[in-house]
Amino acid sequence: RKEVEQDPGPFNVPEGATVAFNCTYSNSASQSFFWYRQDCRKEPKLLMSVYSSGNEDGRFTAQLNRASQYISLLIRDSKLSDSATYLCVVNLYNQGGKLIFGQGTELSVKP
């Protein structure tokens, strides 16, 4: 089982749609979770840190389910500018806090 596994993409959605990405992780000792966004040929940029109670930032909502070891990202009212690859990142607490990246889920929002 991969340490961090994301929904395979790509996701093609119309503007205004709601889209959700899931990410599962294998290391139950993980303590920190993040979602990054990466535009084509650019560096990843932090989108959200994921807190145990779940958190919301505008149209974006992140949730953590420790029992099932998955993290989700919900995007409401999708914009064209949301088109990017979304990376799930998990730390391996019992390996010195190493951060492991998922392979990414590509989102394409169409007019």
Partner 1 sequence: ETGVTQTPRHLVMGMTNKKSLKCEQHLGHNAMYWYKQSAKKPLELMFVYSLEERVENNSVPSRFSPECPNSSHLFLHLHTLQPEDSALYLCASSPGQGNSPLHFGNGTRLTVT
Q: CB-based burial of residue 54 (10 Å sphere; 0-12 exposed, 13-18 middle, 19+ buried)?
A: middle
CA–CA gap between residue 17 and residue 79 (Å, rounded): 8
CA–CA gap between residue 111 and residue 104 (Å, rounded): 23
The C-alpha angle with vertex 107 and arms to 89 and 111, in degrees rounded to 5, equals: 150
Which of 72, 91, 105, 107 touches partner 1 by CB under 8 A?
Answer: 91
Residues 10-49: x where in contact with partner 1 by CB under 8 A, - otherwise, as a string: ---------------------xx-x------xxxxxx--x
CB of 91 to partner 1, least distance (A): 6
Q: Which is nearer to partner 1, 17 or 26 (CB)?
A: 26
CB of 81 to partner 1, least distance (A): 19
Q: Is 73 in the site for partner 1 (CB under 8 A)?
A: no
Q: Is 66 in the site for partner 1 (CB under 8 A)?
A: no
Rounded to whole angstroms, what are the CA distances from 76 to 15, 35, 57, 62, 104?
10, 16, 11, 12, 19
Q: State the residues that interact with partner 1 by CB under 8 A.
A: 4, 31-32, 34, 41-46, 49, 87, 89, 91, 93, 96-104
